[in-house]
Amino acid sequence: MMLSVWLPVLALMTSLLAAVVIFALPEQGYRLRTAVNLGAALVKLGLVVVMVWGVFRGVDYGVSFTMAPGVAFVLKADALSMMFAGLSAVLWLLTTVYAVGYLEDSPNRSRFFGFFSLCVASTMGIALAGNLFTFFLFYEMLTLSTYPLVVHRGTEQALKAGRTYLIYTLTGGAVLLLAIAWLQGVAGDLPFREGGHFTENDPALHTSLIGIFVLLVAGLGVKAAVFPLHGWLPQAMVAPAPVSALLHAVAVVKAGAFGIVRVVYNIYGVEASSVLGVLEPLAWLAAFTILYGSVRALWQVDLKRLLAFSTVSQVSYIILGICLFGPVGAAGGLVHLLHQGIMKITLFFCAGNYAETLGIHRLDEMDGAGRRMPATSFAFTVGAFGMIGAPPLAGFITKWTMGTGALDAGMDWVIAVLVLSSLLNAAYFLPILHRLWFRDPPRQWPHERRWGRLETSAWLYWPTLVTAVVTILAGVLASLPFSPLSWAELIVLREYSP
Amino acid sequence: MPPEALAAVVAVCLPLLYPAMALLPSTRARVMRFALPLLPLPALLLAVFSDPGWQLDMPWLLNGGLWAMDELRRLFLLLTAVLWAVAGLYAVGYLKADHLRRFCVCWGLTLAGNIGLTLAVDIASFYSFFALMTFAGYGLIVHEGSGEALRAGRVYLVMAVFGEMAILAGLLLASAAADSQMLADLPAAIAAAPQKNLVIGLLVAGFGVKAGLPLLHFWLPLAHPVAPTPASAVLSGAMIKAGLLGWLVTLPFGEAALPGWGALMVVAGAVAALGAALLGVCQRRPKTVLAYSSISQMGLMVLMVGGALADPGRAAVLFPVIALYTLHHGLAKGSLFLSAGVSMPTAAGARAVTWLLIALPGLSLAGLPFTSGALAKLAMKEGLSADKLDFALSGYLSPLMTAGAVATLLLVLRYLWTLARTQKTGRNPPALAAGWLAATGMSLVAFWWMPWQVDGLVKAPVWLPKMYQLWALLWPMLVAFILAAGALLVSRSVKKR
């Protein structure tokens, strides 16, 4: 009994404590800091695994206390929480390993890793938040803890990107707070609940419920980079590679998407949302964003910028998926929460490897890099094909499940969006793959560094390969229990038959 | 796990994991080439020794995996394994040192896809292997790195990606209509689906890119010739058939009469069979002529696909014939493509024998008696005979097939002609010669022991064709010879002037 209260708290506290300890450590304490970082990441992963098993068996993890009259702080672990928490825990471990290698010898590492841990603690809080208020607390904490990471390099460009980021996200946060307050006024403090709260609602409330929904989605859509609120994301790619990886894969954009999932499923309820008529417009917006992001990506010459626009596109798959009224489509959207994370982090790791090892930043510098860095290029190839949705990779499982769900729901037009998006993804990823493998390398790389036996530092090498292999396995083994797809189906099962 | 199932896993995983050898240091990675002919051997054993009917259930794979073998898939697997084995042997002698590892990696992956798609019975595995073959095949096409190869690769890739998307959309719609993840459930569901025509259209076009359907074929005469010769052989002999297999396992054969689609396919087949010949005889390079010949031959198979779509009662008869024709054409075309890279010996006797061995598979394509071609052509004629086929266009099929036979031989003659002008004299690397000889032997000799006699449905007499059948086989060949001789005379006299 006690354990069910303490586990979520402990999971949250590991990253938080790690952050505090790291801030306190001196800058030179390289070994100790790395040990604390990795130790905390491993402990957290262990806790999350235990909780995943518990949630699977139906254990209720949770704790709540009242902060002010009518406002409660609630931590709770349901299947959806664990999906996000699991992603956060796995990727935190990998990204930490990666960041240790990436930031070798660079200044201000103490500050970096402190905020890094804080950022992960925020994602954990977002995952475990049991009501909108708690969610909002961690959501804003995430904004504040990622800002120092985005501007870490301290360059003019980084500071400018950081400013844009803050303007966007703080405004979004304000809108979100307004929406939460309005909802509080209309319906009181609502805990997240499978099936939602508004299945039998008063028609008189419809207008305000729709208004609140629009505000909620607008507030959350900033981080989820939904068109036209995506402007900050391509700029934020000036951050160091591990930050971009974390930002794009789990932390910021996913927090927005996750919030939208919470609102649709656990506040409104998918049936009520459908009755209110808010899902269809949101689906169209998501579909537009999917295509818009891909079209913009076509014209990019900078690898990380291209990946950023690809994120704009891919995150909207999640939103589109949950707007498909029906369990299969929903599973397709939710599973992309994990799939996009693992694929995109692979690609960003690769981008970091190219930059650190060969000094490559632009697409036209990538010619022949496959020969010099076969493992990284293999990982990039896997990630790119995953994004295109080629079978048997993770992205294919998403597309197939969503496509089936769309047809079940009678929204056949979604198929056209999926196909078009795949074509666009192929149009900007395949030329890169051609460059990597079929062009001759230049006589000299822009800025080459050598590390002994491996093609790059082992700290950068292994996380990249691991995420690539996971991308393959998530697709090939999609029907195993505890695969991303199976877990998404479990969430959906609980949502549709609460 | 039954031994066949285990063999199936090995047959797919061996070429799939073989690229890992590329991780060896580059000096040792040279041995990769010697493994090429060994990669398809498990698949070959599986095709030869296992009885169709086994299945391998893998509920954890993708959306639930199921691999199995039936009579039809067995022949496709056999063709695939034989062709890749002889082409692999040829490649050992053919390949040069540059980009060897990359070529071997692409070869292994393409082969894994090609083998896997003949075994896969669930939609997701089938589509996975199909896509693997498509994308890895790009590496084989652009291997030489010339401007021409890159251009061919680009055209191939663009068309292939569109094809993949059409297949994806078609399979999604069909799978949702069938509420099943298995290929076997698709035909009936498609036949009953309200969007029947859309689904059929998507699948016809999607697989049609691979099969070289007219207007979807543009990549083929560009890509097949520029690839290294062993790759051309498998592209034109085996991979082109993957599109055909895709049709056979998804389209609603025998479920509903589809005279409209049947007519469309017959027209497409006719255009391919004759149009490709027209374009092909104008080509100057031997391998381009052969590529057009492949389109032309696929056109004849598309005629049968059309007949089977139009008349549901006839599909069961036509399927074994299509499989037989596939096997025959694949082996013969493989041998012809490999002969394009063979150097001529200097001794006159050896030269004559070499020319004979090059020409025989070509003549087999044209239906020379006592070859696999005669068997296949007679079976096709029987399968599409007008009095048994319930189809408005059935009267046109017989003349079309005859015209196709003329076209076939014209292309073969044109190939021999262009080959004679470009062929080098000298010694062949032993593996190269062995690969070509093996391919030729497979087409001319080993074919007769292959299990094409499905359910006794192929009833064509083999060794003793009746007189009228001999005549039916020979007169189109005579016409082709006369046409070719005429063309030769005309061109001579034009040149003299």
Inside any domain, residue A402: yes
Inside any domain, residue A343: yes
The distance of B231 to chain A (nearest Cα, Å) reads 17
Beta bridge partners of A71: A68
Looking at the structure of chain B, the number of domains it has is: 1
Cβ-nearest to B169 among A397, A404, A415:
A415
Query: With a CB-CB cutoff of 8 Å, which residues 82-111 of chain B face chain A?
Result: 102
pLDDT at residue B462 greater than cutoff 60: no
Q: Each residue of B135-168: pLDDT tens digit?
A: 999 999 999 888 999 999 999 999 999 999 999 9
Q: Quick one: average pLDDT of B99-121?
A: 93
Supply the range of the domain harboring residue B277: 3-496
Q: Each residue of A247-269: pLDDT tens digit?
A: 887 788 999 999 999 999 889 88
Count of other CB atoms within 10 angstroms of residue A317: 29
Cβ-nearest to B165 among A423, A475, A479:
A423
B134 touches chain A (CB under 8 A): no
Residue A67's pLDDT is: 79
Looking at the structure of chain A, the number of domains it has is: 1
The distance of B83 to chain A (nearest Cα, Å) reads 26
Q: Each residue of B344-356: pLDDT tens digit?
A: 888 889 899 999 9
Cβ-nearest to A476 among B61, B102, B164:
B61
Cβ-nearest to B62 among A403, A419, A475:
A475
pLDDT at residue B475 greater than cutoff 80: yes
B344 touches chain A (CB under 8 A): no
Asked if the Cβ–Cβ distance from B60 to A477 is below 8 Å, we say: yes
B157 touches chain A (CB under 8 A): yes
Nearest in space to A355 (alpha carbons), one of A96, A106, A8: A106
Task: List residues of A whose CB lies inside 8 A of any B CB.
Answer: 374, 385, 389-392, 396-397, 399-400, 403-404, 407-408, 415, 418-419, 422-423, 426, 430, 434, 437-438, 475-480
Nearest in space to B399 (alpha carbons), one of B258, B213, B270, B272: B270
pTM for the model stands at: 0.94
The distance of B63 to chain A (nearest Cα, Å) reads 6
Inside any domain, residue A21: no
What ipTM is given for this predicted complex? 0.92
Q: Write out chain B residues lying below 8 Å of A396, CB-based.
A: 124, 128
Positions of chain A with pLDDT under 50: none
pLDDT at residue B373 greater than cutoff 90: no
- The percent of residues in chain A predicted with pLDDT above 70, rounded, is 99
- The percent of residues in chain B predicted with pLDDT above 90, rounded, is 57
For the record, the structure tokens of B92 come out as 């050992």
Asked if the Cβ–Cβ distance from B128 to A374 is below 8 Å, we say: no
Q: Write out chain B residues lying below 8 Å of A430, CB-based.
A: 157, 161
Q: Quick one: average pLDDT of B84-110?
A: 91
Supply the range of the domain harboring residue A302: 278-498
Inside any domain, residue A144: no
B25 touches chain A (CB under 8 A): no
Q: Are B112 and B129 in contact (CB under 8 A)?
A: yes
Residue B450's pLDDT is: 80
Asked if the Cβ–Cβ distance from A437 to B102 is below 8 Å, we say: yes
Asked if the Cβ–Cβ distance from B128 to A392 is below 8 Å, we say: yes
The distance of A407 to chain B (nearest Cα, Å) reads 7
The distance of B169 to chain A (nearest Cα, Å) reads 7
B173 touches chain A (CB under 8 A): yes
How many angstroms separate the CA atoms of A485 and A328, rounded?
10
B59 touches chain A (CB under 8 A): yes
Residue located via tokens 């061995």? B357
Nearest chain B Cα to A420, which residue? B165
Inside any domain, residue A331: yes
Inside any domain, residue A261: no
Residue B455's pLDDT is: 58
Residue B428's pLDDT is: 87
Q: Each residue of B53-75: pLDDT tens digit?
A: 888 989 989 888 999 998 889 99
Largest CA distance in chain B: 74
Nearest chain A Cα to B26, which residue? A371
Secondary structure (3-state) at B56: strand
Give the pLDDT band (50/70/90) at residue B133.
Answer: very high
Inside any domain, residue A50: no
Residues 6+ apart with CB under 8 A from A330: A270, A321, A322, A324, A405, A488, A492, A495, A496
**CA of residue B97 relative to chain centroid, distance:** 29
Residue A394's pLDDT is: 93
**Residue of B61, B141, B209 to mutate, testing the A interface (most A Cβ within 10 Å of its Cβ):** B61
User: Checking DSSP bridges between strand B65-68 and strand B55-58, what pairing results, if any?
Assistant: antiparallel
- Number of inter-chain CB pairs under 8 A, A vs B: 73
**Residue of B9, B12, B21, B62 to mutate, testing the A interface (most A Cβ within 10 Å of its Cβ):** B62
Q: Write out chain B residues lying below 8 Å of A398, CB-based.
A: none
Q: For the ranges A64-78, A357-371, B80-94, B328-342, which has the lowest average pLDDT?
A: A64-78
Asked if the Cβ–Cβ distance from A391 to B157 is below 8 Å, we say: no
Secondary structure (3-state) at B67: strand
Q: Which is more confidently placed, B246 or A60? A: B246
C-alpha gyration radius of chain B: 21
How many angstroms separate the CA atoms of A146 and A337, rounded?
20
Q: What is the 3-state secondary structure (H, E, C) of chain A?
A: CHHHHHHHHHHHHHHHHHHHHHHHCCCCCHHHHHHHHHHHHHHHHHHHHHHHHHHHHCCCEEEEEEEECCEEEEEEECHHHHHHHHHHHHHHHHHHHHHHHHCCCCCCHHHHHHHHHHHHHHHHHHHHECEHHHHHHHHHHHHHHHHHHHCCCCCHHHHHHHHHHHHHHHHHHHHHHHHHHHHHHHHCCCECCCCCCCCCCCHHHHHHHHHHHHHHHHHHHHHHCCCCCCCHHHHHHHCCHHHHHHHHHCCHHHHHHHHHHHHHHHHHCHHHHHHHCCHHHHHHHHHHHHHHHHHHHHCCCEHHHHHHHHHHHHHHHHHHHHHCCCHHHHHHHHHHHHHHHHHHHHHHHHHHHHHHHHCCCEHHHCCCHHHHCHHHHHHHHHHHHHHHCCCCCHHHHHHHHHHHHHHHCCCCHHHHHHHHHHHHHHHHHHHHHHHHHHCCCCCCCCCCCCCCCCCCCHHHHHHHHHHHHHHHHHHHCCCCCCCHHHHHHHHHHHHHCC
The distance of A426 to chain B (nearest Cα, Å) reads 8
Residue A189's pLDDT is: 83
Asked if the Cβ–Cβ distance from A400 to B128 is below 8 Å, we say: no
